[in-house]
Homo-oligomer: A and B are copies of this chain.
Amino acid sequence: MSKLPALAHRMAAVQPFHVMSLLARARELEAAGQDIVHMEIGEPDFDTPAPIIQAGINALQQGLTHYTPALGLLELRRAIASFYECRYGVIISSDQVVVTPGSSGALQLLMNVLINPGDEVLMADPGYPCNRNFVRLIGGEPVSVPVSSDTAYQLNVEHLQRYWTPATKVVLVVSPSNPTGTLISKQSMREMAEFVKQRNGVLLVDEIYHGLIYEDAVSTAVGLGDHVFVINSFSKYFGMTGWRLGWLVAPKAYVEAIDRVAQNIFLAASTPAQYAALAAFQSDSIEIIESRRQEFQRRRDFLVPALRALGFDIPRVPEGAFYLYVDCSAICSDSDLFCARLLEEAGVAVTPGKDFGLNRPAEHMRFAYTASLERLEEGVRRIAQFIGK
């Protein structure tokens, strides 16, 4: 009697996202006629801006449906390089820019090029769950460093000093962070870049929520030297989630190896998406995107005090992304159970802390403000009623 072929061992360590089953249950309840306020979804509620859509349509009408080079359309690589100069005053060569199928594609390329089996990758806990899994899938060891509001839920050079071992190869940081929305300061980023340089390591900076920042002028980690790799995406700030398009900026010496991996595992990123993205940097697109950013800010500025008033602890107002990571220990002892009940009994979907790591997950929840202000207000009303406030 033949047995089914076994799954590869790495699969044992790869968890599904719990928010997916929560979302599926929310959809079921909606299909049964119930109204659900969605504060769990990590995707802007806005469609892609019209000028980008139009550029995509134009490309399709012109039959631009063939493969591009593996590193991406030269025009788009140049446009991305210019964007760093215009927005951040950082000058890079378009040779350093690689266009990828989403920032997921960028992470895959860098894991393949940089990580040997057994190499350790330091990352903050709480953090985006895919990042741990990317490292595991390639045979590396994700090392979760517990962080708290004391360091804005971010790694800093003291963490690196404490957790770096001879097996460490990469420090992976995310700014603005998912799930916390917090930033790494320019000073701290420079210190970490210098730290990894001294150890021949890599600082990998995920800036996919860059642009969605509601405070001061911001800096990028691009330009911090030959040990720093930066990934970014057209998904969140530019509103192009479903198109699956991102990019990375690498030190020149690595681009040839990245090209070899990209040729093999992708061939190239989506051609219509690349032509559409050429319009993302136009002033009419940026105007739309910036007005959306202001709308996200209004939502954040409503939601932070509203949740605090209900007893959720938000030690500092996050500067970016569209997430609030709140301490709910004054309200419940088990965020997973609480989120499940909140969905079933109050019709509000929020992500429990367990999707983001092992650092006190039961005491935390992530609110996404990817719904309209009216819906967020309704959500807060329902939560208030549910907890008897």
Residues of A whose CB lies within 8 Å of any CB of B are 2-11, 14-17, 20, 43, 47-48, 53, 56-57, 60-61, 63-68, 70, 101-102, 104, 108, 112-117, 119, 129-130, 133-134, 137, 139, 169, 197-202, 226-227, 239-244, 251, 253-254, 257, 259-261, 263-273
Contacts and interface: CB of A to CB of B under 8 A. Distances in A.
Contacts of A2: 197-200, 227
A267 B102 contact: yes
Given A242-B64, A242-B270, A269-B244, A116 B9 contact: yes
Given A8-B115, A244-B101, A260-B14, A265 B63 contact: no
A41 to B, nearest CB: 9
B243 A11 contact: no
Contacts of A240: 65
B65 A47 contact: yes
A42 to B, nearest CB: 9
A112 B11 CA distance: 8
A351 B252 CA distance: 29
Give the one of A47, A115, A227, A270 with max B CB within 10 A.
A270
A253 B6 CA distance: 10
A364 B251 CA distance: 38
A173 B169 CA distance: 37
20 contacts: A4-B226, A4-B251, A5-B202, A5-B227, A7-B114, A8-B115, A10-B112, A11-B112, A16-B259, A20-B70, A43-B67, A47-B63, A64-B242, A104-B264, A104-B265, A104-B267, A117-B117, A242-B272, A244-B268, A270-B270
B251 A114 contact: no
Nearest to A229: B5
Nearest to A5: B202
A269 B244 CA distance: 7
A276 to B, nearest CB: 8
